[in-house]
Amino acid sequence: MNRDKAIEIVTSTIRNDLELNQTTSDISINTPIIGSNSPIDSMGLVQLCLSLEEKAEELGFEFDWTTESAMSRSRGMFRSIKSLSDEFITQYNEKNDNSIRS
C-alpha cells in the first residue's frame, strides 16, 4: 500500500462515516484529527478508529490505535490525516513483512 491509498482510506472514512464540525471540502492531509482545530469531536474520533479497524481487517491486518504513542499529541498518529495515514501504512507493512518472513 502506498501513502496516497492510505490517505484516500482515511479521508474517505472521515468524509463518509463522520458528522463533522466543518464542511468536508475543508479536509486536507494537514487537517488535525485531535485538538481545538479538529473538525472531529471525541465520539467522531472513536468512530473513525473503529471504521479504520474494519477497513484494516478487510485488508488483512489489525490496526492498533490504542498504543501509547497514538495517545501522545506531540508525536502521535492523531496529529493530522497525514500522520494517521502514515501509521496505517506502517502497520499494514509490518503485517505484510511479518507474513513474508513466516
Which residues have C-beta within 8 Å of that of residue 98, sequence separation ≥ 6? none
More confident residue, 21 or 59: 59
Taken in order of first residue, the domains within the chain and their CATH numbers are 3-101 (1.10.1200.10)
**What is the model's pLDDT at position 67?**
75
Positive or negative: CA dihedral 76, 79, 82, 88: positive
CB atoms within 10 A of CB 18: 18
pTM of the entire predicted model: 0.84
User: What is the rounded average pLDDT for all residues in the chain?
Assistant: 85
Whether residue 47 contacts residue 35, with contact meaning beta carbons closer than 8 Å, is answered with no
* Cα 102 from Cα 99, distance rounded (Å): 5
* Cα 40 from Cα 44, distance rounded (Å): 5
Looking at the predicted structure, is the pLDDT value of residue 102 above 60?
Answer: no
pLDDT tens, position by position, 21-46: 555 567 899 999 988 888 888 899 99
pLDDT tens, position by position, 61-94: 999 988 776 666 556 889 999 999 999 999 999 8
